[in-house]
Structure 1
Amino acid sequence: MSTYTQFLYQLVFGRKDHLPFISAKNKDILFGYVAGVLKKKSCHYYIVGGTCNHIHIITHIHPSVCLAYLIKDIKEASHVLILRERSLFSGFPGWQVGYSGFTYHISLKESLIKYVMNQEEHHKTVSFKEELIILLNEHDVDYKEEYLFT
């Protein structure tokens, strides 16, 4: 029998010190590069976006791909890009150690894409930390607040 899956994920991670580094002049380069890593891993990405200090990825993960390794590969590859394009990404200390991953029913794909597209507007009233806590609570994920941004 062939393998048939539908794993729709929202993946979220940010800069180690949570300071702004994604801007209008570098976001297309960074988001496009991350999309390329996803394609290379046979994952179908729907959108890569975010705001000044973190990234959201909406993707279908290929069944042969381990989520933790995918995140590791995305962070490593994008870090190399950021170092190479230093003039566009000044003072980048690296990505935070962890990440958040949430699964969704495929029927929510369009609303997730809109959510990521509207990140800049969303973060005019909600901080990254507040957003992450909301997502964790919506998905019944146990967490300790003191470890969220380590």
Structure 2
Amino acid sequence: MANTYTQIHIQAVFAVQNRISLIQPTWKDELYKYISTIVSSYDHKLLQINGMPDHVHLLIGFRPTQSLSDLMKEVKQDSSKWINKKGFVKGKFTWQGGYGAFSYSKDQVPRVMNYIQNQEAHHKKQCFLDEYEGLLKIHQIEYDKRYIFKPIEE
């Protein structure tokens, strides 16, 4: 649309179903490239992607031509199909329902990119659930612990 100018930076965080550590080092870079292609195909810009075997962080330069929920649905749905087609895991791969999304100003982008780049080092000190709840608290998002990403019940 003419005369529409935006600067929207969103960090999205989502987990493997039941937070099982299924994303392997042997194919994670290929997955990240595939997700980058999905994001860019909708005219958004993937600024940074990284994660751990049980979850992924994206930092997106987001265009208001699509809802965030529609983009996340496409990212999770298409990447799940791709992982299954490639046969990277035994059984069926799925992402857990839901995601976290957090907005940032332009001056915060380098710090968030660095944070995402250094996931491996960060998670030597903090588990995913603590990280995720910390993001919710920092961004003052009310949440119900019953709906936070859960591991398999034993």
Query: Normalising by the residue count of structure 2, what TM-score does the alignment of the two structures yield?
Result: 0.92
The within-5 A match list for 1:64-75 is 64-75=65-76
Q: Distance in 2 between matches of 1:28 and 1:121?
A: 17
- What are the ranges of 5 or more consecutive residues in structure 2 without an aligned counterpart? none
C-alpha displacement at 1:3, in angstroms? Answer: 0.8
Q: Distance in 2 between matches of 1:125 and 1:85?
A: 33
Q: Distance in 1 between matches of 2:135 and 2:92?
A: 26
Kept in 2, the 8 Å contact 1:49–1:55? The answer is yes
- What are the ranges of 5 or more consecutive residues in structure 1 without an aligned counterpart? none
Q: Distance in 1 between matches of 2:144 and 2:53?
A: 24
Kept in 1, the 8 Å contact 2:11–2:60? The answer is yes
Q: Which residue of 2 aligns with 1:95?
A: 95
Q: Which residue of 2 aligns with 1:109?
A: 109
Kept in 2, the 8 Å contact 1:43–1:60? The answer is yes
Tell me which amino acid in the other structure corresponds to 1:48: I
Kept in 1, the 8 Å contact 2:80–2:93? The answer is no
Q: State the identity %.
A: 30
Q: Which residue of 2 aligns with 1:10?
A: 11
C-alpha displacement at 1:102, in angstroms? Answer: 0.2
Tell me which amino acid in the other structure corresponds to 1:78: S
Kept in 2, the 8 Å contact 1:10–1:57? The answer is yes
Bigger mean CA offset, 22-31 vs 4-13 = 22-31
Kept in 1, the 8 Å contact 2:50–2:116? The answer is yes
Q: Distance in 2 between matches of 1:105 and 1:7?
A: 7
C-alpha displacement at 1:26, in angstroms? Answer: 0.9
Q: Which residue of 2 aligns with 1:137?
A: 137
Moved over 2 A (4+): 88-93
Q: How many residues align?
A: 149
Q: Distance in 2 between matches of 1:137 and 1:40?
A: 32
Q: Secondary structure at the match of 2:70?
A: helix
Kept in 2, the 8 Å contact 1:21–1:92? The answer is no
Kept in 2, the 8 Å contact 1:26–1:89? The answer is no
Q: Which residue of 2 aligns with 1:40?
A: 41
